[in-house]
Chain A
Amino acid sequence: MRRGCLILAAGLLALSGAGRATETDGANPYPIRLVRPTAAPLSAMAQLGRAIFFDRFLSASGRQSCASCHDPANHYAPTVGQPAMLGGADLREQGDRATPSLTYLERQPPFSIGPDKDDQDQPPSLNAMVALGRDVARAVKTVGVEAPGAPVPQGGLFWDGRVDTLQQQALHPLLNPVEMAGSEGAVAARLRGARYAWRFVPLFGPAILDDAERLVSEAMFALARYQIEDVSFHSYTSKFDFWLEGRARLAPAELRGYRAFNDPLRGNCAGCHVDRAGRDGQPPRFTDGQFEALGAPRNPALANTRDPGFFDLGLCGPFRSDLRAQTQYCGMFLTPTLRNVAMRHAFFHNGVFHSLRAVLDFYNDRDVAPDKVYPRAGDGSVARFDDVPVAYRRNVDVEDPPFDRNPGDAPAMSAADETDIIAFLGTLTDGYRPSGR
């Protein structure tokens, strides 16, 4: 652990007031201004998107809409704890990954490897960007240490960042045979016959209904537009948001948890799950939008693991194919936002964990007590990183605290720390009503 960042981190905690607020007070001594999206009547485009979002007849089974898995009642995530939802024409096919929440995607940048492109005539290809990044040492992510803008993979949607826009994202579950199991032709036919079909021509012109490909594209955009305009997808109304503004008080456990969340010697969560607001009042995203290989254990509850040769490698495949050769990225998955995480029932890309306690135990035990995390192999040894092929285990993060410890070391967090962090995570759920002043 570097001494320099310890001092800086402690200073940061003091500056944020977390170290100085009295336990009984719970108020933020340094309130800030947050800018939230303003609620406005949905445009015609977004109203169309809302109708499509709830349309079950877009699925082959006729029983699944977007809302079936992205349930508005649970922050557009599943209400059930299955590691992956069931779909397909008969609703008996298991999906490959846990269903992400659709909240807080609106600020996700497009996928890239490296710094943002500005007005360039010729944006570099992905392989060129990778080449640029190859020689730059990756920064360790510790709270309080400003990491330089290293050319690392970032942005995009899905666990592997394989699409850039919500319009592109919406099409994948629609066409996935183990999800809504549609085809472009079937989806177009359904759109033409839907009760909301009258909306297409005024928006897109009379030729729209004759062009199946564009009809589906525009429908996907309408879905995207609904998610962009409807404030419930990004309301920033968690207790923590109001605490930042000085309009709510955190309970003692929540405050302790906030400190542990930011403590590089304990959770160090904010190293990747960034909890600082932007200077222009943009609320914290609780993700840096980058990718990590954490080596979560293999989930035997997923049907795809029955084949011992199958590995979900995230950035390098198999559900995206453009980075197959970049094996340094195998095992890396997108860091999701922690907003509304307390309402989830399946965690990580393979849904292997079912409670926040289990997640925190993983972070805590992975390196100091791997026998608590991974199964034993036939010879009795601990099958560490059993969900990553041997050749790629060097990709797994062993640098960012608390992953920088060794078997037998003291764990970074105590049981009380974990309890407190869980309490803090509970303050990240939307829908908190601050009491009047």
Chain B
Amino acid sequence: MRRPALLFASAALLALGATTALAGSGAVAPASGAGPQDSVPTATPIKHLVILYNENVSFDHYFATYPTAANPPGEPAFTAAPGTPRADTLASAGLLTQNPNTNPANGEGAALPFRLDRTQANTADQNHLYTAEQLAYDNGKADLFPKYTGRAAAGGAGTFGTPGQVLGYFDGNTVTALWQYAQHFAMSDNAFSDTYGPSTPGALEVVSGQTNGMKIVAGSRKPSTLAAVSYYIADGDGGWTMINDVQPAGDACSASPDQASMRGKNIGDLLNDGGITWGGFMGGFDLTAQNPNGTTGCKRSTQSQVVGKAVQDYLPHHNWFQYYASTANPTHAQPASVGAIGYSVQADGETADPANHEYDLTDFYAAVRAGNFPSVSYIKLPAYQDGHAGYSDPLDEQEGTAELLNFLQQQADWKDTAVLIVWDDSDGWYDHAYRTPSSPSFDAEADQLNGPGTCGTGTPPAGIEGKPVNGRCGPGTRVPFLVVSPWARTNHVDHALITQASVVRFIEDNWLHRVRLGGGSFDATAGSLEGLFDFGPREPAPMLFLDPVTGAILTAPPAGATP
């Protein structure tokens, strides 16, 4: 494996060389000594896209006071660089000292937003269901979060809980690394989930832009009503739309009696058609491995010191590609070799690789180290690091995120890599930003955003059969969205409206000549990520190595700290 390029000067020269060669052209000349992915023609300089898909955070929950942190003694401090642009935060919107969530309809949860300390990283999971979130946004007033999504339920003995907890936010003394990435690279303050609702719809949006076309494979739950919430509704055109979580059909680790799959296509299908290497890499996916605590199989778990318990690594309902027969790996088969990672076939060019593009996170590190860095990689950290309140937390999330980014920045491939740090849903955490639905929906029970049975106005967009369908009320909740790359703009906050499906669009635009999935997928209407990048000519954004525990800036990458 090549040595990391530590000197910023030489990295800049390398990047500048590549930049001038491609300025204004659609194709990119292969860099010397690079892997096969570098010779694939792309519309931008990006040859390796890594989508780190974390869990359950709203923009305000992490960035409410960005770039100002409280900096109490003894905590990792954050000081804003001069010229940091304004972001649409609670602070800049004046919503810290007065706030609609003091609405008495919230009962004892009525409160102003408040700072969560680093020691309070272990918080309860909030209610992030499709209908509950719509009710919290209350026709755009965003004033009923404690009533509808707020939960002060407990985690372990050391958990912090208070009514109105849903209004709590962390600052740069806790999410230090994310604030540093935002400060040194680019982030959006206008990124939304494509629809309201929790993880599985969010996972489907970032790979297919589509939650319609669901198939019930097992179980007898009825469509969701106000009285009895479930994971889907009738779409009004004879089919089903997924609105809440459900386990993927056939996954060896899917333990629930209710299981579903999706009928449409996803970006993996298009990448396969185009012969582009890609993979979904998830912690805990390899069922043959044994963890240090002795767990194995679907029960692989890791102890979190912050949350105070062992957390199961692999959660089937987060696995993007497992819902589609064409890209599923239900038995969690391993790739035939490190060289086969990212490919549909093995070295002989004919035999299908058993993993079918679904791998363990360790396979990602192995492939990159071996010079086989896929063009497109979706990453899910082991659950204790995914950031989801209730079983994960921002400190464990920071550790996993910074470790991955420290690793990637040490690769020679970094020069044409972009890492997107995106979240799958907001967890129902308070966020003040509301967008008038561009995807209306009129399910009598499930949709409540602008009135009973009402989300938005006009005609719902077409589903996979080409007719308008219900269940896709969106854009939904605002989530953080960061780009870390030598090609990212620096200390930049972008205000263009983007959604999770914008990731699908970027892949299609960069590698696949702007093909679209069709079938009503939101890739056709999603915003572009281009505002977060500057493709030159330019100095590359300097590398940024961070201490995974404190988020503090390191002057050199940490030695050998990768999984």
Contact = CB atoms under 8 A, between A and B. Distances in A.
B244 interface: yes
Given A43-B74, A221-B120, A106 B155 contact: no
Contacts of B244: 121
B119 A119 contact: no
B198 A211 contact: no
Interface string A81-115: 00000000000000000000000011111100000
A205 B308 contact: no
Interface string B146-177: 00000001111111111110000000000000
Contacts, number: 126
Interface string A102-137: 000111111000000011011100000000000000
A168 B112 contact: no
Nearest to A218: B162
Contacts of B162: 214, 217-218
Most chain B beta-carbon contacts within 10 A, residue among A202, A203, A211, A228: A203
B74 A44 contact: yes
B158 A119 contact: no
A381 B75 CA distance: 66
A217 B154 CA distance: 14
Contact of B72 (A157, A164, A202): A202
Given A44-B74, A217-B162, A279-B293, A107 B115 contact: no
Given A165-B157, A280-B294, A109 B309 contact: yes
Main secondary structure of the interface of B (DSSP, over half): loop
B6 interface: no
A122 B112 CA distance: 26
B179 interface: no
B287 interface: no
Interface string B94-128: 00110000000000100110110111100001011
Contacts of A228: 157-158
A45 B161 contact: no
A118 B161 contact: no
Contacts of A203: 70, 72, 115, 117
Given A119-B315, A119-B390, A205-B115, A43 B75 contact: yes
Interface string B37-48: 000000000000
Nearest to A222: B119
Given A106-B308, A119-B390, A279-B294, A225 B114 contact: no
A287 B222 CA distance: 42
A107 B159 CA distance: 12
A41 interface: yes
A121 B129 contact: yes
Given A45-B119, A280-B293, A121 B111 contact: no
Contacts of B292: 280
Most chain B beta-carbon contacts within 10 A, residue among A41, A165, A213: A165
Contacts of B75: 43-44
A431 interface: no
A225 B119 contact: yes
Contact of B161 (A105, A167, A207, A280): A167
Interface in B363-405: 383, 388, 390-391
Interface string B218-245: 0000000000010000000000000011
Contacts of A105: 157
A167 B390 contact: no
A121 B72 contact: no
Nearest to B119: A45
A121 B244 CA distance: 8
A294 interface: no
A165 B161 contact: yes
A217 B309 CA distance: 24
B293 to A, nearest CB: 3
B233 to A, nearest CB: 15
Interface in A212-261: 213-214, 217-218, 221, 224-225, 227-229
Contacts of B96: 205, 207
A185 interface: no
A119 B115 contact: no
A166 interface: yes
Given A121-B245, A278-B293, A280-B293, A157 B157 contact: yes
B157 A107 contact: yes
A54 interface: no
Contact of A214 (B114, B128, B159): B114
Contact of A119 (B156, B308, B391): B391
Contacts of B294: 279-280
B111 A214 contact: yes
Contacts of A423: none
B312 interface: yes
B508 to A, nearest CB: 31
B156 A44 contact: no
B310 interface: yes
Contact of A280 (B163, B198, B308, B310): B310
Contacts of A119: 125, 199, 245, 315, 317, 383, 388, 390-391
A37 B509 CA distance: 50
A167 B123 CA distance: 12
B97 A207 contact: yes
A106 B114 contact: no
A369 interface: no
A164 B391 contact: no
Contacts of A123: 153
Contacts of A44: 72-75, 117
B303 interface: yes
Interface in B472-522: none
B169 to A, nearest CB: 10
A202 B72 CA distance: 6
Given A207-B97, A279-B293, A280-B310, A165 B114 contact: no
A286 B97 CA distance: 48
A225 B388 contact: no
A204 B117 contact: yes
Given A108-B156, A207-B96, 13 more contacts: A45-B118, A105-B157, A106-B158, A110-B154, A119-B199, A119-B390, A165-B155, A166-B158, A167-B159, A204-B114, A205-B115, A227-B158, A279-B293
29 contacts: A43-B74, A43-B75, A43-B119, A44-B72, A44-B73, A44-B75, A106-B308, A110-B154, A118-B315, A119-B390, A121-B244, A122-B129, A122-B229, A165-B154, A165-B155, A165-B160, A166-B157, A166-B158, A203-B70, A204-B117, A211-B111, A217-B162, A218-B162, A224-B158, A225-B119, A229-B119, A278-B293, A279-B293, A280-B303
